[in-house]
Amino acid sequence: MNKDIGQIFKKFRKEKGLTLEQASKGVVSTSQLSHFERGAGDITVKKFFLLLENISISEIEFSQILRDYQQDKDRILFQMIGKFEESGDIDGLVNLYNNEQYMYLESSNKQKLLNSIAIKSVLIRYGKFNKLTSMEIEVLEDYFYKIEVWSKINIKIFSLCLLELDSNTICFYLDDILDQKVINNQDLEYIELIAVALRNTIYVLTERHKFSSAQLYMKKFREMIPKEFGLGLRVSYAIQEANLFEKLGEIDKAITIFQNIINCYESFDMKDRIDILKDELKKLRKKL
């Protein structure tokens, strides 16, 4: 049984003011329940349901609580992935990967397998792995294919892994996500996640010289960026546009975009980013 279940059970037992003796009465010994709550022991499903009766929690209620708890843990995990990548902490990413792999092997929890594949996809970009295995690709494609309603976690996994998918597969699932956007049009976080998926897709398609598809998604990206979006996402859009113009040989347009970004950063006194962009600008000017 998932170790998280014992931790959540303990949380609710304590909230109800029940002792180990009261919660375990007639089902298991106090030591067995203590071990279960710490994740150091296991019990049968039948006995677990009897324990839920002892603390007056229904099976449906507990299932919903467990689902919410796991989603919160996954949300924190993906925040950590982003922070480690942004700071260049590759060792941190490796540790996250190893931890998710270990938890998958211990529990056979499919979400842990998906999390580890997502982190591995990031690590491939830093040379820690060569590529996903055929089994991992198959797991991803089966996972995406079965999605009926794209959740935030679904979109995050797609955004991290799409570099490892073929172009047609990427476009197929991105179109599915965009079709669903209308349903969640008032959820700004959801729209931002779709924008990130669009940005990553545009980058991949541009690098693969799928210029017509990249231009199509650039238009969709531009149309969906509301005023509420932060500077980072707007700059991401501009950089992808400049990259596309560069690949198309329209160097002047790419230079103009980079210069506008630099001017924007100068107004915010963001010197570290300015230096990086100025180096890119020099490289572009040499191509004229």
Amino acid at 84: F
Could you read off the pLDDT tens digit of each residue along the chain, which spans 288 residues? 567 788 888 888 898 899 999 999 999 999 999 988 888 888 888 898 899 999 988 888 888 787 777 777 888 898 899 889 888 899 999 999 999 999 899 888 898 999 999 999 999 999 999 999 999 999 999 999 999 989 889 999 999 999 999 999 999 999 999 988 655 566 778 888 898 899 999 999 999 999 999 999 999 888 877 655 677 778 888 999 999 999 999 999 999 999 999 998 888 877 777 888 888 899 999 988
Crossing angle for the helix pair 59-87 and 110-124, nearest 10 degrees?
10
Amino acid at 87: S
CA nearest 211: which of 170, 241, 231, 186? 241
CA nearest 163: which of 97, 105, 207? 207
